Structure 1
Amino acid sequence: MKLLKKLIAVLALAPALTLASEATFPLDQAPDRTRDLSSLQNGAKLFVNYCLNCHSASAMRYNRLKDIGLTEEQIQNNLLFTSEKVGDLMTVSLSPKDAKTWFGAVPPDLSVIARAKASGEGSGADWLYTYLRTFYKDDTRPTGWNNLVFPNVGMPHAMWELQGVRNVKFVDEKDPHDASKVVPKFSGFEQVKPGTMTALDFDNATADLVSYLEWMGEPAQNTRKRLGVIVLLFLGVFLLLAWRLNASYWKEVK
């Protein structure tokens, strides 16, 4: 019985110990542009051009982009491939078998990726914003790229032409858990080849893309929040009226 209790305690602590032992890269706070229609439109364009080649968004239809101010004609002319229709789901033609052969794993569906990546370290938007901006050249990897947030990731740097090519610099530091060991610590990037965007422009473009991914996870979120405020205001007024009505009623009873 004692052995069983010890086993249960170890199993309960195992996930926490595992998370504590992982070295996580600090996340940058993502700008919230989910209410900025121009940013969402730019994010949708980036998503279609750079993400939708491998990643699907099977819970999203192209015509839902009308919610961010795009007309059906704009969607048809700028965001659709030849054979697709405005009412189609955002799927890809890449087969799972080919994806696994090329990348080692099937690229995940991005419909709710901003929610899926939320953790105690930060929101899903923070994770995506930092992840998309911390790719670096690594010739030891099959794709030629690596990432600080997701080490040894199978995904290549899809937007490298915009950001350019960068190497990463590490310095050795003493392991806080074992003074006899050293661990590499990130100390900065070295720009090897410039991109078509400046660093600031790329950060802004990434913020637009991440805001779109966050919006796509729940297109009605801004409406929901707005209705929530209206309902709370209504309940507040109703509570005030009920309180005064109750006071008036008991005044007559007395």
Structure 2
Amino acid sequence: MKKWIVGLLTIMLPFTVMAAGGNVHLDSANNDLTDKASLQRGAKTFMSYCAACHSTQYQRYQRVATDLGIPDDLMMENLVFDPNAKIGDLMTNAIPAEDAGKWFGTPPPDLTLVARVRGVDWLYTYLRSFYADPSRPFGVNNTTFPNVGMPHVLEGLQGIPEPVFETTTVDGEEHKVVTGTKIVKMGELTTEEYDNTVRDLVNFLEYSGDPVKLERHALGWWVMAFLVIFTIVVVLLKKEYWRDVH
């Protein structure tokens, strides 16, 4: 009996952890994996702003280029910044894990599966929720991921977000709570343009986590159709075999 209880708790633990972090409002990313232009823009943003620290080491440059409709030479010329990399290489970064651990406190995680682990809506909201916080090591915090240990690498695009506070009273004491952000100094992009850039980036990360998702879904419809037709044939065959018996 104890083994059954332990097994049940083991199965339920991941869902409990996920539920514990589910009290943050998430904006809908509205991704479209069929939009290759969006995926190409997302790949460009990732390689330009994220790949210096984060790898997607379970992908290869050539596979990404093929799936996204990018010629190999353009991929190497515009999206691969490692002069020693080859088109068939895995998409690793150049920072040794030991050095990254010293600089950031912990090595930046690989992002190949981050969209599957966190969810696309969480990523979309997270990348739009940074705000200035001088008390933090990199001068920023995040309403979706409090006490975040990552700098706001897209600040040049978004601008400088400032926190919006709301005062609440707990046990007779007033506390300031960050409820949102506002841009006080615009970056290179407008708010709408920045949201679209983040959406493209999240779209690319969703593709990275499951490159064959569209093919798998399309194949699934054919499998369901086959099962329906096969079931009808089996039922008719059963009736034919048992007709004389009944």
> Superposed, which structure 2 residues align to 1:114-193 within 5 Å?
114-117=115-118, 124-175=119-170, 179-193=171-185
Gap change, CA 1:181 and 1:35, over 3 Å in 2: farther
Report the 3-state secondary structure (helix = DSSP H, G, I; strand = E; otherwise coil) of the residue aligned with 1:60.
Answer: strand
Are 2:64 and 1:72 equivalent residues in the alignment? Answer: no
8 Å contact from structure 1 (residues 167, 192) kept in 2: yes
Q: Deviations over 1:143-180 (max 9, x none)?
A: 111111111211101111110111111111234xxx43
In structure 2, stretches of 5+ residues that fail to align are 1-5
TM-score normalised over the length of structure 1: 0.83
Q: Superposition pairs for residues 9-158 of structure 1, below 5 Å?
A: 24-65=23-64, 66-81=66-81, 82-117=83-118, 124-158=119-153
Structure 2 counterpart of 1:230: 222
Give the counterpart letter for 2:62 in structure 1.
N
- 1:253, CA displacement in angstroms? 4.8
Give the counterpart letter for 2:156 in structure 1: E
Deviation readout 1:85-142 (Å, 9 max, x if unpaired): 111111111122321222222100111111222xxxxxx1111111111111111112
Aligned residues: 236
Letter in 2 for 1:46: T
1:239 equivalent in alignment to 2:239: no
Q: Does the C-alpha gap of structure 1 residues 194 and 232 become closer, same or farther in structure 2, counting only changes over 3 Å?
A: same
Distance 1:239-1:15 versus aligned 2 partners, 3 A rule: closer
**Unpaired segments ≥5 residues, structure 1:** 1-7, 118-123
CA spacing shift, 1:238–1:108, aligned 2, 3 Å: same
Code of the residue aligned with 1:94 in structure 2: it is I
Normalised TM-score (structure 2): 0.86
Paired amino acid for 1:52: A
Task: Report the Cα distance in structure 2 between the residues aligned to 1:207 and 1:132, rounded to whole angstroms.
Answer: 9
Identity %: 42
Q: Which amino acid aligns with 1:208?
A: D
Cα–Cα, structure 1 residues 235 and 249, in superposed 2: closer, same or farther, change >3 Å? same
Between the aligned partners of 1:248 and 1:23, the Cα distance in structure 2 is 55
Q: CA separation of 1:183/1:240 partners in 2, compared to 1, >3 Å: closer, same or farther?
A: farther
Q: Please provide the CA RMSD for this pair.
A: 2.7
2: CA distance between counterparts of 1:173 and 1:18?
27
